[in-house]
Amino acid sequence: MSTPLFSARGGRRRRLLAPLGIAASSALLLAACSAPTLGGADGDTGGDGGDGATETLTIGYVTPQTGPLAAFGEADSFVLDQVRAYFDENGVTDASGTSYDVEIVVKDTQSDPARAADVAAELILEDGADMILVSSTPETTNPVSDQCEANGVVCISTVAPWQAWYFGRGATPEDGFDWTYHFFWGLGEIASVYSELWAAVPDGGTVAQLLPNDADGNAWADPATGFGPVIEAGGLTPLNPGAYPNGQADFSAQITAYREADANILMGIPIPPDFTTFWQQAIQQGYQPQMATIAKALLFPSSVEALGADGENIATEVWWSPSHPFSSSLTEQSAEELAADFEETTGQQWTQPLGFAHALFEVAVATISASPSADAADLRDTLAGLSTETVAGPVDFTSGPVANVSVTPLVGGQWRSNGEGGYDLIIVANADNPSIPKGGEIELIDWTGR
Candidates 393, 341, 318, 340; CA nearest to 363 is 393
Candidates 410, 412, 234; CA nearest to 315 is 412
Q: Are 378 and 161 in contact (CB under 8 A)?
A: no
At residue 121's C-alpha, the angle toward residues 116 and 125, to 5°, is 155
What's the whole-model pTM score?
Answer: 0.84
The pLDDT assigned to 243 comes to 95
Q: Are 39 and 12 in contact (CB under 8 A)?
A: yes
Residue 189 DSSP SS3: helix
Residue 241 and residue 254: Cα distance in Å, rounded?
6
Q: Would you tell me how many other CB atoms lie within 10 Å of the CB of residue 239? A: 20
Candidates 300, 163, 273, 290; CA nearest to 227 is 163
Beta bridge partners of 107: 62
What amino acid is encoded at 143 in this protein?
P
Cite the beta strand spans of 248-390 per DSSP E. 265-268, 291-294, 315-318, 387-390
The pLDDT assigned to 16 comes to 35
The pLDDT assigned to 302 comes to 85
Q: Would you tell me how many other CB atoms lie within 10 Å of the CB of residue 47? A: 15
DSSP annotation of 178: S
Nearest-10 crossing angle of helices 353-370, 335-346: 120
| Residue 249 CB-density burial (10 A; 0-12 exposed, 13-18 middle, 19+ buried) | exposed
| Residue 293 CB-density burial (10 A; 0-12 exposed, 13-18 middle, 19+ buried) | buried
Q: Are 296 and 270 in contact (CB under 8 A)?
A: yes
**Using CA atoms in the order 394, 216, 231, 412, what is the torsion angle rounded to 10 degrees?**
40
The contacts of residue 199 (CB under 8 Å, 6+ apart) are: 234
The pLDDT assigned to 450 comes to 67
The pLDDT assigned to 91 comes to 93
Print burial letters for 335-357: b (CB count within 10 Å at least 16), e (below 16): bbebbebbeeeeeebbbbbbbbb
Candidates 181, 184, 186; CA nearest to 144 is 181
What amino acid is encoded at 310 in this protein?
D
CA atoms within a 13 Å half-sphere pointing along the CA-CB vector of 203: 3
Q: Are 39 and 49 in contact (CB under 8 A)?
A: yes
Residue 207 and residue 202: Cα distance in Å, rounded?
13
Candidates 171, 134, 176, 186; CA nearest to 155 is 134
Q: 85 to each of 60, 80, 160, 310, 348, how far by Cα in Å?
A: 17, 8, 28, 41, 21
The contacts of residue 441 (CB under 8 Å, 6+ apart) are: 428
Q: What are the strands of the beta sheet with 131-135, ordered from one edge?
A: 92-93, 99-108, 55-63, 131-135, 154-158, 180-183, 405-406
pLDDT digits (tens, 9 = 90+) for 312-363: 999 999 999 999 999 999 999 999 999 999 999 999 999 999 999 999 999 9
pLDDT digits (tens, 9 = 90+) for 16-73: 333 343 333 322 322 333 333 333 223 333 333 334 456 899 999 999 999 988 989 9
Candidates 167, 425, 449; CA nearest to 300 is 425
Q: What is the DSSP string of 299-326?
A: SSHHHHHTTGGGGTT-EEEES--TTS--
| Pairing state between β 393-396 and 387-390 | antiparallel
Stretches where the chain sits below pLDDT 70 are 1-54, 449-450
